[in-house]
A = this chain, B = another copy of it.
Amino acid sequence: MTTDGLAILTLQCPDQSGIVAAVSNLIADVGGNIANADQHTDRESAVFLQRIEIDGAVDWPAFDAGLAQLVEQFSMQWSLHRPGTRDRVVIACSAELYCAADLLTRVSLGELDVDVVAIVSDKAAAADLAAQYAIPFRLVDGGLSGDSRAIQEAAFAEVLDDLAPDLVVLARYMRILPASITEQWNGRMINIHHSFLPAFAGAKPYHRAHHRGVKLIGATAHYVTAELDAGPIIAQGVTPVSHRDEVEDLVRKGRDVERTTLANAVRLHLEHRVLVWDNRTCVFA
């Protein structure tokens, strides 16, 4: 399912007859071929969602003109990604570096085809990691006193504004964000939470999981919204645990789930496989 050389069209609109025919006619008419398509109709909310991979010798101006008509006709939200663009990504982290390190390893091995434009952190811990991968490091702390939340948040917001990435990955960035940031980066900011949401939202999920005596722990990658750990879920993973596992074991086992769940969610997003509606996601995997 490599998407090299493919254009990707995603769209959603109120469900009605004729959408599929209209879109596929347009693609055929302008010289395109549907290399892959996936669609979903959510019956509860009567929403139609589709993702189409297009190849062939497309007459793009003709496509754009035709799409504009369809958008009006069907009240579509849409996005089109022509081949050859490469996303610019910011990775944010705090003291724990394993998710950031995992993403950087994947980028350096070519598994994730992006430009990491900076590592941003409220702690100095990631500076060496950034240097190891020759990525700019930006410290966003609480100012000279080191403890002002407002200063810290402003610094983070400013760095993001400055870098203007296509995607922000919160790879264990342990700060609750103000609504001003979550709204600005809505749909373009992915967080990894170290529990199987909605269980153990908020602080210290592994401690609480241990105390509750669960037999499985998990991780959840989701788009960030104003409400903590309540955004649209992109991917979740779990792993079994037992009475032998102390909190530190849950942390160790959970790390592998967090790493792979986050990397998977980032890849799905970058390949335009994730559509959001009603605070839920449609993942055309």
A residues engaging B (CB < 8 A)? 1-2, 17-18, 20-21, 24-25, 27-28, 32-44, 56, 97-98, 101-102, 105, 108-109, 111, 132-133, 196-200, 212-216, 218, 232-238, 240, 242-246, 248-249, 252, 255-256, 260, 263-264, 278-283, 285
Q: For the complex, what is the distance from the CA of A98 to the CA of B106, rounded to whole Å?
A: 8
Minimum Cβ distance to chain B for residue A21 (Å): 4
Secondary structure at the A interface, as helix, strand, loop or mixed, is mixed
What copy number does this chain have within its complex? 4
Q: Is the CB of B20 within 8 A of A37?
A: yes
A133: which B residues are within 8 A, CB to CB? Answer: 132
Q: For the complex, what is the distance from the CA of A233 to the CA of B243, rounded to whole Å?
A: 11
Shortest Cβ distance from A101 into B: residue: B105
Please tell me which one of the listed residues B28, B39, B101, B279 contacts residue A17 in the complex, with CB atoms under 8 A apart. Answer: B28
Q: Is the CB of A33 within 8 A of B17?
A: yes
Q: Is the CB of B24 within 8 A of A56?
A: no
Please tell me which one of the listed residues B39, B212, B236, B242 contacts residue A215 in the complex, with CB atoms under 8 A apart. Answer: B236
